[in-house]
Chains A and B, each alone.
Chain A
Amino acid sequence: MPGLGTTYGRGGATTAPKDLLNSDAILIMGSNMAENHPVGFQWVMDAKERGTQVIHVDPRFCRTSAVSNIWLPLRAGSDILFLGGLIRYALENELYFREYLLHYTNAAVLIPEEFQDTEDLEGLFSGWKEDQKSYDPKTWIYDSAEAHDTHQAGATAHGDTHGGHAQEGSNVAPDLSRYQKDETLQHPRCVFQLLKKHFARYSPEMVEQYCGVSKDAFLNAAKTYCTASGPEKTGAICYALGWTQHSSGVQMIRCAAILQLVLGNMGRPGGGIMALRGHASIQGSTDIPTLYDILPGYLSMPKFGEESKNLASYIAKYRPRSGLVEQFRQIHHQPVEGLLRRCGPAAERFWF
């Protein structure tokens, strides 16, 4: 789940299914939720009875489509275009949540002049190393970052770990107050304007041409979803393996994550992104966790060396530098610390 991990610092569903009751609109894509996650879907149905608009975007008409307010048959694999269209719609029609963007996202932070977008370089971002077929993220970091921060922000933009849940982004979330900002969101090099420029190409006409849905149908769905967000309202997005198992699944989920931030839907009742997974298999595997590089609760597994000496060195390394999760130790480590205390100092030496 690097899509959610990069954006939010934790690669997992952001809310409990019951929270869908508080949503004003629910967008279901890449999932036949009614049949494959029927227990969670009860909250969608309860919400719908309270007036929530349910939008199902799927090439196939299934039981989820049958009980939704809007069904859009999308051309298979064109999800990024559709989501890009939604982001553009929210930005162009000023349906974004301005105060939220200013205080809880990096929308106002400036990116250096050296950064070039895909529009400038015919499909590539700046920093592409042709011989190594990979990116050097040096030009993507926040402007006026000091040498030490440069390393950190670079790591945030493009972590050195591959895949996984907790790693990308959460390791070194920088303190945004230290960088140059434009609180009016007008500076051409601020993240907000760069985002606007990047998604400018995803027009309703383009969606019509490539996604196979009519412009009117797209605009209706876009209006329904985007106007159900803002200071008084929230919308949620549900997805399942229809996204995760695409070759471009990470990019789809990243688009959804960006859309939810633009609309101010994260960390609020009825907002968020529900990543629907196999309950006892994939989610179980994450929670136990079977994967070698995570600890329970989407925490990073310490690497061998300085950071794995003891609990303090681990926290020093992985504590985010801004936001609510700054209280990393209190929020995430009380269970672990409690366990260690009960097992005595020998256990701490063993674990770390």
Chain B
Amino acid sequence: MEMIADRVWESRERTFVETRDGQSLMQTTAIAHLGGATLDNEENYLIKKLFAAGLGMVCISNQARI
């Protein structure tokens, strides 16, 4: 668990982009998350909160796309 946390945080620190062309961006494209059909509401909520809103990850996808 600590190894995962360390690596995620290190990757984020290294690749986080705050602005581009003077416009706020606040994202990292270095970390991705891939989910499946068994994720429930609660897990999806946490994924959005932690990965998208918290860490600024953009590459988040799962089976709901189809």
Contact = CB atoms under 8 A, between A and B. Distances in A.
Interface of A: 1, 163-165, 244-245, 249, 277-278, 280-286, 288-292, 304-305, 308-309, 349-350
Contacts of B21: 305
B37 A290 contact: no
B32 to A, nearest CB: 10
Nearest to A284: B41
B9 interface: no
Contact of B65 (A245, A281, A291): A291
Bin chain B's interface residue count.
20 to 34
B30 interface: no
B35 A285 contact: yes
B23 A304 contact: yes
B8 to A, nearest CB: 17
A150 B35 CA distance: 38
A284 B24 CA distance: 29
Given A281-B38, A304-B23, A286 B66 contact: no
A291 B24 contact: no
Given A286-B64, A304-B20, A280 B48 contact: no
Nearest to B40: A280
15 contacts: A164-B65, A244-B66, A277-B64, A280-B41, A281-B37, A285-B35, A285-B63, A288-B41, A288-B44, A289-B48, A290-B44, A290-B48, A291-B64, A291-B65, A304-B23
Looking at chain B's contact residues, the main secondary structure is mixed
Nearest to A164: B65
A290 B66 contact: no
Contacts of A284: 39-41, 44
B66 A350 contact: no
A281 B24 contact: no
B34 to A, nearest CB: 11
A243 B11 CA distance: 39
B2 to A, nearest CB: 26
Nearest to B65: A163
B64 to A, nearest CB: 4
A282 B44 CA distance: 9
A282 B37 contact: yes
Interface in B33-66: 35, 37-41, 44-45, 47-48, 52, 58-66
B13 to A, nearest CB: 21
Contacts of A283: 64
A165 to B, nearest CB: 8
A278 B37 contact: yes
Contacts of B47: 290
B66 A1 contact: yes
